Amino acid sequence: MPSFNQSISQPAVFFLTGIPGFETYHAWISIPFCCLYAVAITGNGMILFVIITESSLHEPMYYFLSMLSCTDLGLCFSTLVTILGIFWFNAREISFDACIGQMFFIHGFTFMESSVLLAMAFDRFIAICNPLRYATILTNSRIIKVGFAVVIRGTAALVPLLLLLKRLSFCRSHVLHHSYCFHPDVMKLSCTDTKINSVFGLSIVISTAGVDSVLILLSYVLIIHSVLSIASPEERKKAFGTCVSHISAVAIFYIPMISLSLVHRFGKHAPPLVHTLIANVYLLIPPVMNPIIYSVKTKQIRKAVLKIFLSKLI
């Protein structure tokens, strides 16, 4: 049994948590998790493949969708090893440096996904509100610049955040509430003052996901105003139909994120099982659902996927 009372001078070693109260069933619980990871990796890989190989999908909307699939794959691979390691081998121990590295990728891909969803909202805004200038505004060179901006924005602020975390001392229990390293969860275990870390972390969340969500909402207010000015009901339905997939992706990304933030902020007395389940939903549901939503709701993606499957069968 590991000792959780390490001295301050020693490098911190953390202990991840599986499903509290169900440790004896971890082998069985790993089955649905494996299925979710398989669906997420296969689905997002398929989306990327059809967009790359089908010339008809070489359009701004699908370029942004490929960015979304890349961030979802990044989130999956960031937690795959630790979660399945706990279920299969009870490998709960993770070094402080490995924990920092995992946090960098988890939070980095999360902020990138938020930025991509904002870019997709802008794409829908231009396509519906200013369709005549769509091709001149969203050129390939500008989409490449947006891609670089997404990566830089998603990772630049994390470096000082994680450096601030490294200066902390950990002398309390080193048991985390999740199956992966999450910044607020690790920060709570410190026995030193974390006010700077909390303020800086909150400012990063507000300046990324907070600003993105407000701008996405604003873009849809303008889209709705533009669509309602269309006289034909059929045209209105068609315009709204092009936004359904993106609205669904926004909902399944932000709702779990807000839920996890609220649990960490106000759920101190909530059962550990609640923390663990919401944390897993937060990271697994968007990568699983996004390719399903876009395959079902987007005709061009659905036709491209069916075309590949039929060609393989033939």
CB 253 within 8 A of CB 113: yes
In a domain, 12, yes or no: no
Share of the chain above pLDDT 70, in %: 95
User: Nearest CA to 310 among 73, 70, 62, 50?
Assistant: 50
Whether residue 6 lies inside any domain: the answer is no
Query: Which CATH number belongs to the domain containing residue 114 in this structure?
Result: 1.20.1070.10
CA dihedral 223, 224, 226, 227 (to 10 degrees): 110
pLDDT digits (tens, 9 = 90+) for 29-62: 999 999 999 999 999 999 999 999 998 899 999 9
Which region, left, alpha or beta, applies to residue 90 given φ > 0 means left and ψ of -120 to 50 means alpha? left
Tally of domains in the chain: 1
- Per the domain annotation, does 58 fall within a domain? yes
**pTM reported for the whole predicted model:** 0.92
* Cα dihedral sign, 84-90-91-92: positive
Q: Which two tokens stand for residue 207?
A: 């300046």
Q: Which domain holds residue 264?
A: 21-312
Of the candidates 162, 207, 199, the residue with the CA atom closest to the CA atom of residue 183: 162
* pLDDT-based confidence at residue 64 (cuts at 50, 70, 90): very high
Task: Compute the chain's Rg from CA coordinates.
Answer: 21
Query: What confidence category does residue 314 fall into, taking pLDDT thresholds of 50, 70 and 90?
Result: low
Q: Which long-range contacts (CB under 8 A, 24 or more apart) does 74-77 make?
A: 74/105, 74/108, 74/109, 74/112, 75/106, 75/109, 75/110, 75/113, 75/283, 75/286, 75/287, 76/37, 76/40, 76/41, 76/44, 76/284, 76/287
| Cα-based distances in Å from 175 to 13, 103, 170, 300 | 9, 16, 11, 47
Structure tokens at 189: 């275990």
Q: How far is CA 105 from the centre of its chain?
A: 10
Whether 5 is covered by a domain: the verdict is no
Instruction: Give me the percent of the chain exceeding a pLDDT of 90.
Output: 66
Poorest-confidence range of 10-14, 66-70, 159-163, 233-237? 10-14
Q: What is the pLDDT of residue 276?
A: 87
* Residue 210 token pair: 């907070």
Which residues contact residue 261 at a Cβ distance below 8 angstroms, ignoring those fewer than 6 apart?
205
Quickly tell me which residue has 């974390």 as its tokens: 194
Per the DSSP assignment, residues forming a β-bridge with 94 are 14
Please give the structure tokens belonging to residue 117. 């969803």
Whether residue 27 is contained in a domain is answered as: yes
Given a cut of 60, is residue 219 above it in pLDDT?
A: yes
pLDDT class of 231 with cuts at 50, 70, 90:
low
Ramachandran quadrant class, 173 (left: phi over 0; alpha: psi -120 to 50; beta: rest): beta
The answer to whether residue 157 sits within a structural domain is yes
Cα–Cα dist 94/12, whole Å: 9
What are the tens digits of pLDDT across the range 91-140? 999 999 999 999 999 999 999 999 999 999 999 999 999 999 999 999 99
Say which range, 9-18, 27-36, 296-305, has the weakest mean pLDDT.
9-18
Average pLDDT, the chain: 89
Q: Is residue 174 part of a domain?
A: yes
pLDDT at site 11: 54
Amino acid at 153: R
Instruction: Report if residue 270 sits inside a domain.
Output: yes
Task: Check if the beta carbon of residue 69 is closer than 8 Å to that of residue 3.
Answer: no
